[in-house]
Chain A
Amino acid sequence: MSAVPASTRRSLDVATIRRDFPVLDQTINGRPLAYLDNAASSQRPRQVIEAIGHYYEHDHANVHRGVHTLSHRATDLYEAARETVRDFINAASVREVIFTRGTTEAINLVAYTFGQRLKAGDEILITMMEHHSNIVPWQMLCQRSGAVLRVAPINAAGELLLDDFLQLLTPRTRLVAVAHISNALGTINPVKAIVDAAHKRGIPVLLDGAQAIPHQIVDVRNLNCDFYAFSGHKMCGPTGIGVLYAREAMLRELPPFQGGGDMILTVSFEGTTYNELPYRFEAGTPNIAGAIGLGAAISYLQKLGMQEIAAWEAQLLDYATHALLQIPGLVILGTAQEKASVVSFNVEGIHPHDLGTVLDQQGVAIRAGHHCAMPVMEWFKVPGTARASFAFYNTRAEIDQLVAALKVAQDLFG
């Protein structure tokens, strides 16, 4: 897997990296901010903020339209960002990179276009640990088409039961849609095995990559998936921008998604011809600044190195898991062998929301609640969890601050 031998790998200089993130340098309720809510949204480095500022100060115009200089510049920057994305995920062509508002819109795009093929009785297979954005679009598609949603089970550690999953691949299965990494539990799914098994039966696979893309190398050609969806704001980019990668051969067969400007070649009242890929799926003026910011975020991550990022986050996960398990009454939900830097937990006798508030008073930002994954919370029979999720700019000291804050909460409610 590793392109660089382990011995020559740099380790991250976290103290220097943190100086790139202005937002981290502040106190909350009199304590230094420990931002441990990265699975919900990461923070942005100065380089991203400046790229967006520079674009608006010097280069903004509409893209793919004007003949004037600014329109050329904006178009070049927007398309350069697309190439940056292509390179980052190793897509074969920029024609396979569609800018969307985020993971949610990317999945909805597939549900509305690919979904037109589905008929009553067809099946869509997902897993118990999906985010609502990889459940609800399929439920809505099932309502429109009469298709049936199947859900593969998980075990007590929060791992997909692969044998049961394979059993659920039937001659009626038309699409598999699975989280690459679970946002609520941190589980890394065996997506290559899933893609291989589905493809053997001729079934396309969508991977929800929202949680995976900030934390590890994602190579869509190696994964061999048909669709890969992710969001900019979880990978140090802006909100309101995301990507749908789709295999070109697949995209050629899909009907358009939204209609409007930029997705057409010619329009008359007798009929319209559609633009080529990927523009056919990008109706209207796109989020130009968002794409440019995303490109800057990817360049920033690439400079640090995804392997270096993954290695540091693995250390943080280890450290946090160890420290949290020393706290009496604390239970971790999601103990998969293969896990990303997400720790979901509950503390006996304290509701996650109360934990979230008390931790905030100690400067620690975590997520409390169902994490937009109510079915998996129900499966674990909890109303929600507290969730600490780490990025490459987090430190062991911040995890110590989390542990100390949890002790304050226990003192208060004990």
Chain B
Amino acid sequence: MSASATHQTDLYRQIVLEHSRHPRNCRRPEKYDLEAEGHNPLCGDKVRVYVSLADGLLKDIAFEASGCAICLASASLMTAATLQQSPDQAKATISGFELALTTDGEHLAGDLAALGGVSQYPSRIRCATLPWHTLRAA
């Protein structure tokens, strides 16, 4: 495998490509308790996140986005990772994700680990963290 092919699979891993093609929870719910919109003025990516709370937990989390594959996959994986968490747990998950991406990309649990490669692409980190910033704002 050539060096550049290795680079590519590092960033665009199968899980990332799959989530970008078929993002989970990419919809606008009829009812929601919290919402926020995030922009990346640098590239024009836009994300809107919707959260429904029940029993102190994130019972439903959905998003609408126009953005690149990294942004869409990250939003999709985020909804899976934070569902059923309490707001405090979700905040900790967000912080952990942001820390991982701005350092070595390690210590990401489950499918989120597939986004670890983004940490090697400084210009793309904001694509991946935009949905998470938006969730925190909500």
Which A residues are closer than 8 A to B by beta carbons? 29-31, 350-354, 357-358, 361-363, 368-370, 374, 377, 383-384, 408, 412-413
Contact = CB atoms under 8 A, between A and B. Distances in A.
B4 A31 contact: yes
A84 B4 CA distance: 44
A30 B66 contact: no
A374 B44 contact: yes
Contacts of B42: 369
Nearest to A356: B123
B7 interface: yes
B43 to A, nearest CB: 5
Contacts of A354: 12, 68-70
A357 B45 contact: no
Contacts of B69: 350-351, 354, 413
B12 A30 contact: no
Contacts of A352: 43, 68
Nearest to B66: A383
Given A354-B69, A357-B124, A30 B44 contact: no
A30 B3 CA distance: 7
Contacts of B12: 354, 358, 412-413
Interface residues of B, number: 22
13 contacts: A29-B4, A352-B43, A353-B70, A353-B124, A357-B11, A361-B4, A361-B8, A374-B44, A383-B43, A383-B44, A383-B45, A383-B67, A384-B43
Contacts of B7: 29, 361
B103 interface: no
B56 to A, nearest CB: 37
B72 to A, nearest CB: 8
A369 B3 contact: no
Minimum-distance CB pairs A-B, first 4: A351-B68, A353-B68, A30-B3, A383-B44
A29 B70 contact: no
B43 A353 contact: yes
A357 B117 CA distance: 13
B6 to A, nearest CB: 9
Nearest to A369: B43
Nearest to A411: B8
A350 B12 CA distance: 13
Contact of B67 (A351, A358, A362, A377): A351
A139 to B, nearest CB: 16
Contacts of B11: 357
Given A30-B2, A358-B8, A361-B4, 4 more contacts: A353-B45, A370-B43, A383-B43, A383-B67
Contacts of A412: 8, 12, 17
A72 to B, nearest CB: 46
Contact of A29 (B3, B67, B124): B3
B62 interface: no
